[in-house]
Amino acid sequence: MRQEVFEGQCQCGAIHYRIAGVALTMFACHCTECQRQAGSAFGMALWIKQPVVEISGGTVKEWIRHMPSGKQMSCQFCPDCGTRLFHKVVGQDQVLSIKPGTLSQPRTLVPVGHIWLGSKQKWTTIDPNALQYAGNPETFDALMAAWANADFHAAAVD
């Protein structure tokens, strides 16, 4: 488990971020909530453990989503252009989810899995080598193990 740095920004450029932490996994979610949020066919999540977050240029705005599980999701976005940047379960500060489309460093991050395929858009083709779940996985252990075995890394910090 090594520390990496992830930098990115919102669409208008008002908010820039630099996040250091350990990447746990990256996956695509095809649930209807993510489709609506992204205004597209699916959402993506890059989970960072023990994130050290630096934000410059402005302050993100927060919207709380009440999830069916009873948990609350803090959804953070640029107040000017509305780009969604981060998700975090309220009360669980040890993991931050970055919306990886906002990353600015050139990279080739590939999702190791796809969840909520039961509601995916019919035209979306899924990599047969990726982990696949019809709904929410019971645990994310396999998604994290697949990420640990893949070779997708940002600049290491040490």
Strands in the chain per DSSP E: 4-9, 16-29, 43-56, 61-66, 72-77, 84-89, 95-98, 113-115, 131-132
Interface stretch with Zn ion, choices 9-17, 65-73, 135-143, 145-153 (CB under 5 A): 9-17
- By C-beta, is 5 or 14 nearer to Zn ion? 14
Q: Binding to Zn ion (CB under 5 A): which residues in 24-43? A: 29, 31, 34
By CB under 5 A, tell whether 12 contacts Zn ion. yes
Q: Which of 81, 134, 145, 157 binds Zn ion (CB under 5 A)?
A: 81
For 111, list phi and psi in degrees, rounded to 5. -65, 140
Q: Measured from the CB atom, is 78 or 96 closer to Zn ion?
A: 78
How many residues touch Zn ion under the rule CB under 5 A: the total is 9
The answer to whether the beta carbons of residues 23 and 1 sit under 8 Å apart is no
